[in-house]
Amino acid sequence: MESSPKERLDAFKPQHSYFVGIDSDGCVFDSMEIKHKECFIPNIIKYWKLQAISKYARAAAEFVNLYSKWRGVNRFPALTKTFELLRDWPEAMRRGSPIPEVASLQAWIDSGATLGNPALEAEVAKTGDPVLKQALEWSKAVNRSIADMVEGVPPFPWFRECAEKLVRQADVICVSATPGEALEREWQEHHVAQYAAVIAGQEMGSKKEHLKIAAGGKYAPGCTLMIGDAPGDLAAARANAALFFPINPGHEEQSWERFYGEGVERFFDHTYAGAYEASLLEEFEKLLPETPPWKTGGWGLGARG
């Protein structure tokens, strides 16, 4: 009987002296925009009854998931953050459309549970809580939309070349908050699954947990690296004493080309940490603000949000 991805992650053993974890959505694949704008957000508006303020709901959800320091966060905290921003947006509130109260969802998020549909399904079965049930129905609808909509979205240019270089000397795994089924489908569709020893999705825990299970205590200092496009990827790396290479949102192709041209060699020859990494992080952190554009006068007709 074939082992499950969780069993493969738990059983993972180093084959090389170096380890690289790579995020998937928005990092390997240019799939963040289509998934959020065509799959997540229409279902937020439908399932949480935000039709009357759809343009505000869309702007808030796009900011959280694509254009802010929350980019790449798990779908459930991203949903509660979207509601929080809407409550704090006077123009949206003046429309009189109620913003969902989701205290039980927030409590579940804060409980330390693995934030995926299987754990939420178990909590719904145990509690019968209507908000959790609604969140589960929404999340399942998102997955259906993604399965129906997202195909033919290839990896960014230069990713394959980087992966070819990496696997000669490093153990590579996919580290993602996306459901495992979607990850497996996308990596197989584009013939890049062979580069990843394990494809770890949200059902296996957080990115921080993925890195700890796969790499914790197994590699020498300076020999583990996380590649990602979001602050949460950086936080997961730092929690595991790993180096970080940013795939800059809006400049993904250039980022992969830079990693191919200089980052891979620097990682392998131990000249990555220090000034080089710091310069990359300074550039990365400027791209994802905390304050939404409608608070700084930058939102309106034709604005990105």
In three-state form (DSSP H/G/I as H, E/B as E, the rest C), the secondary structure along 6-27 is HHHHHCCCCCCCEEEEECCECC
pLDDT tens digits along 57-101: 999 999 999 999 999 889 999 999 999 999 999 999 999 999 999
133 and 170 belong to one structural domain: no
Do 305 and 292 touch, CB atoms closer than 8 A? yes
Q: How far apart are CA 305 and CA 63, in angstroms?
A: 6
23 and 163 belong to one structural domain: yes
Q: Is residue 294 part of a domain?
A: no
47 and 140 belong to one structural domain: yes
Q: Between vectors from CA 106 to CA 24 and to CA 293, what angle results, nearest 5°?
A: 65
37 and 132 belong to one structural domain: yes
pLDDT tens digits along 112-140: 998 999 999 999 999 999 999 999 999 99
Number of H helices, E strands in the chain: 16, 5
DSSP 3-state of 246: strand
Specify the DSSP class assigned to residue 155.
B
Q: Is residue 286 part of a domain?
A: no
Estimate to the nearest angstrom the gap between the alpha carbon of 207 and the chain centroid: 9
Q: Is residue 216 part of a domain?
A: yes
Q: How far apart are CA 52 and CA 98, in angstroms?
A: 9
21 and 165 belong to one structural domain: yes
Q: Is residue 76 part of a domain?
A: yes
* pTM of the entire predicted model: 0.86
Q: Which of 109, 127, 149 is the last residue of a domain?
A: 149
90 and 166 belong to one structural domain: no
Q: What is the pLDDT of residue 93?
A: 97
The residue among 172, 197, 171, 201 whose CA lies nearest residue 185 is: 201
36 and 10 belong to one structural domain: no
Q: Which of 149, 176, 199 is the last residue of a domain?
A: 149
Q: Between vectors from CA 19 to CA 13 and to CA 23, what angle results, nearest 5°?
A: 110
Structure tokens at 154: 């290839």
217 and 113 belong to one structural domain: no
Where residue 301 falls among pLDDT bands split at 50, 70, 90? Answer: very low
Q: Which of 114, 129, 149 is the last residue of a domain?
A: 149
25 and 120 belong to one structural domain: no
Q: Is residue 287 part of a domain?
A: no
Residues composing the chain: 305
Average pLDDT on 281-302 reads 86
16 and 162 belong to one structural domain: yes
Q: Is residue 122 part of a domain?
A: yes
62 and 170 belong to one structural domain: no
Integer angstrom CA distances of residue 27 from 3, 229, 234: 27, 5, 13
DSSP 3-state of 260: helix
159 and 264 belong to one structural domain: yes
Q: Give the range of the structural domain holding residue 100, as residue numbers without chain letter.
A: 32-149
Specify the DSSP class assigned to residue 176.
-
Q: Count up the domains in the chain and report the number.
A: 2
Estimate to the nearest angstrom the gap between the alpha carbon of 209 and the chain centroid: 14
> The domain that contains 184 carries what CATH number?
3.40.50.1000
